[in-house]
Every structure is written in structure tokens, then in C-alpha cells.
Structure 1
Amino acid sequence: MAPTTTPGRRRAYIGSFTSAGGPGILTTTVNERTGALTPLTTTADTPDPSYLALSPDGTTLYAVGEQPDGTIAAYRVTDDKLELTGPPVTVGAAPTHLTLHADHVLTADYGSGSITAVPLHPDGTLKVAASGTLWHTGSGPDPGRQQEPHAHQVLPAPDGHRFLGVDLGTDSVRVCALEDGVPVVHHETPLRPGSGPRHLAVHPDGSYVYVLNELAPTITVCRWHGAEGSEGPLEALGEVPVLPGAPEGDAYPSGVAVSPDGRFVWTATRGTDVLSVLAVEGDTLRLVTTVPCGGHWPRALTYAAGTLYVANERSGDVTWFTVDQETGVPTRGGSIEAPAASCVVLNV
């Protein structure tokens, strides 16, 4: 397949909630030196494209449609626009996240508490229907948020052969695999009841998994064993706060990222509207500091090439920060308007 983008030309793609006034998917340029974003075009084919993922070669962008009748769509990427490659494919209710794994796109379906697998053609386009769905079971102690399963994220496991499904409603992370295109649970790791796990990030060496909890402003540090054993492939070691002291008012962590050298973990928290810097210290993390996120209600956090990008949903902007490579502390660089912004992905 011939390339559809110019080599070395960096782009960022911003998802948003069209139901809250967002433009759909906003394509921007990325300044090579500063990381600054400049808007280019918008694409509004998919309603509520709240989460996006790029193919490894950067030629295809996938988007969830986070609505009751959930969908995913695939776009061919060119330098200045996105071209829909075919009709959307139906997945579970209200998909909040998606990832690529073993020639499939996997979605975490918050509303239906499920993980859906959609197979891909060799050119990266979607096949016409899902190949299988995994339905989570269970609940948690929070009567308002945990009466039923709520799959919130799905990511490849450190071994590359399995994947991890984070469920806010059941306070657990499932280690799964695709078997003939059907997602199957191999092990379920329980976390503290009521913690409400939302997203996770994997240490670069694959030895640790950091699970960010939405209902308690903490990270659960987990060790990845890989092989089955008495603790299973994923073992929860303990929780670390992401905020200093007891938070006043709303405090709902949302996004988490790990530095490429494995020395720092960053989180974003809605309500307090801060970014947290945590130092990696073996089996635990240490909170270093917090800084303002540059907007209101930071829904997602992305690190790329020395820059942190924050999608601030309610203030309608994306802010970028230059990260000090010695201390891990981010310094605000600038922002662009992005109504109802929900995530940022980059082609680097």
C-alpha cells in the first residue's frame, strides 16, 4: 500500500464529543521543536468519536462512536484530511476505548460492560462485523457507579500475546486472549473494592502495570509476572495516592502515562484539574508534585517526544507541556481551542 502521508510530517488527532458541541475529529500539525499544535481540518462522520487509535504504520485512524448503539470507524490518513474507508461496525454500548491487537480492533464498551473484537483486512480496513464479544460479570460497592460491569479500557498486555481489560464496575483487570477471533478471559485480578479502575499504563520494560483508579484518586501498582502462578499473571501490590492530602470536592482521575525511560508516571485528575508527577521507585511510586492542567476537566493525557498533551473536555481546549527530563515536571507551553476534547493521539 502506497503511503498516504509525507514522511517526517507530524500530525495530532483530537477526538471530541459531538453531542456536547465538539467538531468530531480535529487534525492538527505538530511543531517538531516545541510540540505546539496548529489546527488543520475537522472530520464529523462519526458521532462522539471520544477515543482514537492509529495503526502502527500511521496510515489508518480508528475511532469509537461513544453512543448507546456503539460503533467503530476506520479512516485513511492523508497529510491534511481523513477519508472514511467504509461503513461503521457495530460494537457494544458506549465504547470508551479501543486498541489494535492481533489483526483486530478491540473496544472497551462501558455501557454494556463488554469487550468487542472486530477483525481487520490486510489493508487495515474493518471487516463487516465483530468476530466475538466478551461480556463481563460482577459489580462493586458504589451504588451509583458500580451496579454492573463497565469496561473502560483495553490494551495489549506486556507479553504482546494477550490483552488487558480494565473494568470500573467490577474493580478488576482481566487478562484475556483472542481465540479464533473471540475474546476469552484467562485470569481476573481483583483490586480494592470501590476503587473504580479506569485506565492503565505499562512500564517500558514490561515488569509493572500502573492502574489509575477513578473512584479513589490513587494508582494501583501491579507486577506483571506473565506466567500463570499462585498470583496469576498480574499481581496487585498496593495503592499510591495521586493527590496530596485529602482532596476537597470532586477528584476523578482520568488519564495515565509513563515516561519512555520508565522513571516517571503522570496522571490527570478532573475536578482538581491537575497533572500529577510520580517517581518510579521499584515496587511503588512516590508523588513528586502536581501542576495545573491548563484547563477544566482533563479527560485524557498523552506523552509524545518530550511533550505532554492534555484534552480538557469542559474548557474545550488541548494544552501541551514540555517535560523536564531530569525531574519529570511539566511546564505549560500553550493550547488550542478544541471544543469537548476527549483524547489526543500522535503519529510518533
Structure 2
Amino acid sequence: MTQWAYIGSFTSGGGRGITVAAVDPATGAPAPRTSVQAVVNPACLALDREAGVLYAVGDSNPGAVVALRTGPDGGLTPIGPAVDAGAAGPAHLCLAGGRVLTANYGGGSVSCFTRKPDGGLAGPPAVTAHHGAGPDPDRQRGPHVHQVLPAPAGPWVLGPDLGTDAVRVYAPGAPGEGLRVHGETVLRAGSGPRHLAFHPAGEVVYVLHELEPQMTVCRWDAVSGRLEPLAEVAIGPEGAPEGERVYPSVVCVSPDGRFVRAAVRGSNRILTYALAGGAEKPLLTSWVDCGGVWPRDLAQGPGGRLYVANEWSGDITWFDADDESGRLTPAGALRVPAAACVLFT
């Protein structure tokens, strides 16, 4: 059976929308077959594999979300028109509890969509607004939710807010009411939490910060829905031009739970942290050039490979990962203008 890659790209930057590519099982190379422009700037994708429905969020003003039926040939067919996201600039989306959620960076909120029986979206969404600000006058004048991610167990959803230096924990509300804020974990002022990832064991969360390059290691209690900061880990400027800032973008954990990796824009590096001392103790062991410019997204792919969406250079690069050391070795590249994200079936 063919494995497919769906690659989102910014149409406002010359991207093709969502590119459908067949993945070579031996090399991991994606071979583009077709593309679909079903929504402006599909910055993030989420796939319901069982239902065969792909969801894409459109990073625009107003923002939008579209549902697409996946075909046996990897093709995509929209299930109705794109639906208003209820806020500006949605940057991320996920599936949680049978609903579709979007993190609205521009709107400083989280939108919750009900799904129809055919996988389509029922609008308008229920919107949960954030409030507050941070000390950075350019980036933190108001809330900026950058991600929504369901916890591995329980009803919880987590959302890092770059604008208010906090991670909020949500619980589902009644049907039609969207999410309610269950708790809030405040992190270092001015750090700008952007993205997080769970360790496979489910008890540790890694929160990556964009404005102050660091990663906060947190303990997660799935029963109480509580997130507790434990330690801060520096995200080094290796390879960055002297005097220039770096902007971490995304963090992911290897499927075997042995390594944490972070993408860093500015230095254009992928950093690998080993967890040999325990999930709560990441140790930087290696770094590699991302093979492009401005790495926006990381994705675990077939064969244990790591894929990188490089927005400014317009390409997808991929790396083989050594099972023992975690060290990454460049394995290939594919031209994708204004690449934003990649997702595998």
C-alpha cells in the first residue's frame, strides 16, 4: 500500500497549497503527484486516518478551515467550502474528542468545530478567547495562541500562548460551547512559548519558546490536568550569524522516546537532545544544518526519518536518524515553494 505525504505551503508566498506526494519506501523520498488549493495558506494539517479526512487550517484574515476527503490514489476532494475559523491568523489545528480545534495566533483564541457525519465542518465555531499580554512590545501586546494539542490520555487539550507567556490547559465544554480553560501554567516573562510535545510515556512535556531561545521541561499529571515546570534548557545559537537572534519553531520527540529535537530558525539548525538520563533531563548531543532556510516544521516519517519544512528556501529536507546516537544524516530534499508543514498517512 502506498504511503502518502501531504505538504502544506503558503499560497501567499508562491506555494501550491497542499501537495500530495507518494513516499518511496526505500529512500523516504516524496514524489509529488498533484496539488490542491482548497484554502489560503494551509499552515497546518491534521488527518483522521480512520475516516479518511484531512483538515487544513488557512493562516489568513479572516482565517479558515477546510475538510478534504482522501482517495485511494492520495487525491484530495473538498467536503464543502472552507469555513470561517472565527478569528484571524490560525496557525495550528488538531483533532480532539471528535472535534476540530484551531489555535488562532492573530485572534488570540482557540476555535472549536463540530464535525458532521461525513467529516465536514459545522460552523460557526465556538471560540474561547485568551486575555493578557507580555513584556515584548513588538510581539506580546496581546495573546497569540500558536498551537493546540490533545494530551495522550484524558479529556485535556494544551495550548501555548506566545503573547502571554503561558500554557493553558482546556477541558471540553458542553456540545456547542467549545472549550473551557481548566488551568494555566505561567512561564518566564518574555519567553514566548510557541510549541510543545509530549514524551511517549505521557508524563513529561517539552515546551519550546520562540522569543527567548529555551525549552521548558514540565511534568504532566493526566489525572488532574496539571502542568508543572521542572527545568529550563538553553536552545543554543550554534551556526547563527554573529549578533543575530534565533527563533526556535517546533519540538518533537522520537517515537522510541530516546531523543528530543528542536528546529531553530536563524541558525537553521536541528538540535538533538538525548534522554539517556531520563525524560526530564534532555542533554544536547548533536546538531545539524536543516538543509534549507527558516525551518518551520518537523515531522517523524517512515523508516524513522525526520522531515523538515523549510519555509524561506522553499523545500522539504529529510534525514536518516542513527538509532543509538540519534545523530541525523542528510538523506534528500524536495523543492516545495513556501513550505509550511508535512504530514504522513
Instruction: State the TM-score, normalized to the length of structure 2.
Output: 0.94
Q: Which residue of the partner structure matches residue 333 of structure 1?
A: 331
Name the aligned partner's letter for residue 309 of structure 2. Answer: A
Per-residue displacement from partner, 1:160-180 (whole Å, max 9, x unpaired)?
A: 411001100011111101111
Given that residues 308 and 320 in structure 1 are in contact (C-alpha distance below 8 angstroms), is that contact kept between their aligned partners in structure 2? Answer: yes
Q: Which residue of the partner structure matches residue 50 of structure 1?
A: 43
Residue of structure 2 aligned with 1:180, choices 174, 191, 203 = 174
Q: 1:22 to 1:244 in 2, by over 3 A?
A: closer
The runs of 5 or more residues in structure 1 that have no matched partner are 1-7
Residue of structure 2 aligned with 1:145, choices 127, 139, 149 = 139
* 2: CA distance, partners of 1:47 / 1:170: 27
CA RMSD of aligned residues (A): 1.4
Offset at 1:246?
Answer: 10
* 1: CA distance, partners of 2:265 / 2:124: 35
Given that residues 202 and 210 in structure 1 are in contact (C-alpha distance below 8 angstroms), is that contact kept between their aligned partners in structure 2? Answer: yes
Residue of structure 1 aligned with 2:257, choices 254, 262, 271 = 262
Given that residues 237 and 246 in structure 2 are in contact (C-alpha distance below 8 angstroms), is that contact kept between their aligned partners in structure 1? Answer: no
Q: How does 1:63-78 map to 2 (within 5 A)?
A: 63-78=56-71
SS at match of 1:201: strand
Offset at 1:245?
Answer: 6.7
Name the aligned partner's letter for residue 319 of structure 1. Answer: T
Given that residues 255 and 301 in structure 1 are in contact (C-alpha distance below 8 angstroms), is that contact kept between their aligned partners in structure 2? Answer: yes
Q: 1:177 to 1:326 in 2, by over 3 A?
A: same
Q: 1:126 to 1:320 in 2, by over 3 A?
A: same
* 2: CA distance, partners of 1:211 / 1:246: 22
Q: 1:58 to 1:13 in 2, by over 3 A?
A: farther
Given that residues 158 and 224 in structure 1 are in contact (C-alpha distance below 8 angstroms), is that contact kept between their aligned partners in structure 2? Answer: no
Residue of structure 2 aligned with 1:274, choices 269, 273, 276 = 269
Q: How does 1:270-309 map to 2 (within 5 A)?
A: 270-280=265-275, 281-282=277-278, 283-305=280-302, 306-309=304-307
Structure 1 range deviating more: 244-253 or 30-39 = 244-253
Name the aligned partner's letter for residue 331 of structure 2. Answer: G
Given that residues 238 and 267 in structure 2 are in contact (C-alpha distance below 8 angstroms), is that contact kept between their aligned partners in structure 1? Answer: no
Q: How does 1:103-182 map to 2 (within 5 A)?
A: 103-130=98-125, 132-181=126-175, 182=178
Offset at 1:58?
Answer: 6.2
Identity of aligned residues (%): 50
Q: Which residue of the partner structure matches residue 309 of structure 2?
A: 311
Given that residues 72 and 90 in structure 1 are in contact (C-alpha distance below 8 angstroms), is that contact kept between their aligned partners in structure 2? Answer: yes
Name the aligned partner's letter for residue 20 of structure 1. Answer: G
Name the aligned partner's letter for residue 292 of structure 1. Answer: D
Offset at 1:128?
Answer: 3.3
Q: 1:179 to 1:275 in 2, by over 3 A?
A: same
SS at match of 1:19: helix
Runs of 4 or more consecutive aligned structure 1 residues displaced over 3 Å after TM superposition: 244-248
Offset at 1:80?
Answer: 3.8
Per-residue displacement from partner, 1:62-103 (whole Å, max 9, x unpaired)?
A: 001100100100000111421011011111210000000011
SS at match of 2:106: coil
Q: Which residue of the partner structure matches residue 11 of structure 2?
A: 18
Name the aligned partner's letter for residue 61 of structure 1. Answer: L
The runs of 5 or more residues in structure 2 that have no matched partner are none
Given that residues 296 and 314 in structure 1 are in contact (C-alpha distance below 8 angstroms), is that contact kept between their aligned partners in structure 2? Answer: yes
Offset at 1:50?
Answer: 1.0
Q: Which residue of the partner structure matches residue 5 of structure 1?
A: none
SS at match of 1:46: coil
Name the aligned partner's letter for residue 298 of structure 2. Answer: L
* 2: CA distance, partners of 1:113 / 1:42: 30
Q: Does 1:98 align with 2:96?
A: no
Offset at 1:250?
Answer: 2.8
Structure 1 range deviating more: 301-310 or 157-166 = 157-166
* 2: CA distance, partners of 1:173 / 1:128: 26
Per-residue displacement from partner, 1:315-348 (whole Å, max 9, x unpaired)?
A: 010001111111111111111110000000000x
Given that residues 243 and 287 in structure 1 are in contact (C-alpha distance below 8 angstroms), is that contact kept between their aligned partners in structure 2? Answer: no
* 2: CA distance, partners of 1:118 / 1:344: 23
* 1: CA distance, partners of 2:154 / 2:46: 17
Q: Which residue of the partner structure matches residue 83 of structure 2?
A: 89
Name the aligned partner's letter for residue 301 of structure 1. Answer: L
Given that residues 239 and 268 in structure 2 are in contact (C-alpha distance below 8 angstroms), is that contact kept between their aligned partners in structure 1? Answer: no
Given that residues 101 and 113 in structure 2 are in contact (C-alpha distance below 8 angstroms), is that contact kept between their aligned partners in structure 1? Answer: yes
Given that residues 150 and 170 in structure 1 are in contact (C-alpha distance below 8 angstroms), is that contact kept between their aligned partners in structure 2? Answer: yes
SS at match of 1:127: strand
Paired residue total: 336
* 1: CA distance, partners of 2:238 / 2:336: 32
Instruction: State the TM-score, normalized to the length of structure 1.
Output: 0.94
Structure 1 range deviating more: 96-105 or 26-35 = 26-35
